Amino acid sequence: MRRKREAVLSFEWSNESLPKAAREWRDRYKGISQVLDATPGVLDRVHRDLTALSQGGRGGRSADFTSETILRALVVHAIEGLSLRETVVRIAESAFLQDFLRTRKKAVMDHTFLDKCFKAVRPRTWEAINERLVCQAVALGTADASVIRTDTTAVETNIHWPTDSSLLWDLWRVASRELRRGRTIDPSSCPHRFHDRKIKKLHLVVTRYASSRCGKRQRRVRASYRALIERCEWMVGIVEQFCTHAAVRGGLELAAVAAELEPMLPVMRTITATARRAQIDGERVPASERVFSLFEPHTELIQRGRRDRPVEFGHTVLLCQTPEKLITDYAVYARRQPDSRLAASVVDRHETRFGQTPEVLAADKGFSPAAEPRETLARRVETLAIPRRMRDFADGVMSHWQAFRAGIEGTISGLKRAFRLSRCFYRGFSSFAAAVGLGVFSHNLVVLGKAAIA
């Protein structure tokens, strides 16, 4: 059974003879610790999810680490901007961080265990504890939720730049590797030979010469594409036969290999079908009908209109913020919603959370809804600082609130640079949403921690 927390000695906050940067670093964690201690509901919600990791054996042995220690280790992971492995090393090398985790000088947890802990905390839990943190800050007067600004940003998934040939090569190399594993267990499950070098050569021909203007090379690219697609379609059929054979034959080891391949089958079929439509049939395939990664099939293409990066691959995240830089609400969208449809939902969620409509809602021009929904929204919000056209910026009030709105851009930049939200390195949409929740929660802890020690 996992304990929620245990009584330990308080921090040893001796900052004498330390440089200013070290004192500020320690003060940051001191403030965070005070905020976490003053908001017990946060630990209660996380503890419910973490109890599933340790139910206790026959002897009733307690888990080595409390839920409080695990939560604080995840906060360190987000604030320091390190990988899980580097986070564990940083904690092991710092007696101060061990005091912050309240480990009682125990051995530091392994990074694989910390990864399991992160996976155990659901995305909805991160939303709930962030809501608890924000509501308490508003109740204590630390933040003013009557004035909010909102914006969306894109968080990328951990994929390479997707082209038809690279996706086909991913399909081939993953399928051939797993099928070879299955053949070592049961030779009759896959009696085929796989010529990886030939397939990789086809992929490299396409990659090197696709942009060439030489007619001879373009003919070679088309022939290579056709051969690559046909071989990958053959591979998908072999994977289907293997999964059927594994289900009939039985055996845990063979079933484990089939369990790796079977969830990828729909994605493999989509990759080969869209490649054939685009490269052989000459069809313009919409982004909504494509997949952009064999490993992260939930990824969507996002057009942000930025000159340096017109296209990103990931998911859209909505953020709402107070003047004190406290993020009151966030949402992760599996499928992107137009910004013009989000303004009303921002107000609805704010009313549900705080029991009142915001007095000021500031957003950029993209959030401006159509005429009729805008009139309805303007009746609900006292100051709707969402411009419809460029000449609206000439208005003094609108100009003032648009300058206020621009402050959220700095927060978005900070989330991406300092809280690992530029790119999510966890697999699956659930873990993606949880990573965003951890980043937002840690950001709010830093903001409230500064206020606590001010």
Residue 328 pLDDT > 70: yes
Between CA 26 and CA 100 the distance in angstroms is 10
d(CA 71, CA 4): 10
Domain chopping of the chain, boundaries: 20-121, 124-159+298-428, 164-289
CATH of 124-159+298-428, one of 1.20.120, 3.40.1350, 3.40.50, 3.30.420: 3.30.420
Question: In 3D, which of 241, 252, 239, 226 has the Cα closest to residue 177?
Answer: 239
The pLDDT of residue 446: 96
pLDDT of residue 64: 82
Q: How confident is the model at residue 133 (pLDDT cuts 50, 70, 90)?
A: very high
Q: Report pLDDT for 304.
A: 77
Largest CA distance in the chain: 77
Antiparallel, parallel or unpaired: β 311-321 and 327-333 = antiparallel
User: Within the chain, how many helices (H) and strands (E) appear?
Assistant: 17, 7
Distance from C-alpha of 80 to C-alpha of 94, rounded to nearest angstrom: 13
On the question of pLDDT at 301 being above 60, the answer is yes
- Of 241, 223, 219, the C-alpha closest to 231 is 223
Share the mean pLDDT of the chain: 91
Which of residues 102 and 430 earns the better pLDDT score? Answer: 430
Give residue 91's pLDDT band: very low, low, confident or very high (50, 70, 90): very high
pLDDT (0 to 100) of residue 100: 92
pLDDT of 139 over the 80 cut: yes
Quick one: pLDDT band at residue 23, thresholds 50, 70, 90? confident
Axis crossing angle, helix 123-139 with helix 40-50, rounded to the nearest 10 = 170
Give the pLDDT of residue 55.
64
Q: Is the dihedral of CA 43, 49, 54, 58 positive or negative?
A: positive
Are the C-beta atoms of residues 162 and 376 closer than 8 Å to each other? no
Which is it for strands 311-321 and 147-157: parallel, antiparallel or unpaired? antiparallel
- Of the chain, the percentage scoring pLDDT greater than 90 comes to 74
Instruction: Categorize the per-residue pLDDT at 244 as very low, low, confident or very high, splitting at 50, 70 and 90.
Output: very high
CB atoms within 10 A of CB 136: 17
User: How far, in Å, are 7, 46, 62 from residue 55 at the CA level?
Assistant: 21, 15, 9
User: What is the reported pLDDT for 199?
Assistant: 95
Residue 60 has pLDDT above 80, yes or no: no
Rounded to two decimals, what is the model's pTM?
0.92
Lowest mean pLDDT of 52-66, 301-315, 326-340, name the range.
52-66
Q: For position 59, what pLDDT does the model report? A: 58
Q: Residues 300-313: what's their mean pLDDT?
A: 84
Assess whether pLDDT exceeds 90 at residue 429.
yes
Asked if pLDDT for residue 187 goes beyond 60, the answer is yes
pLDDT value of position 201: 96
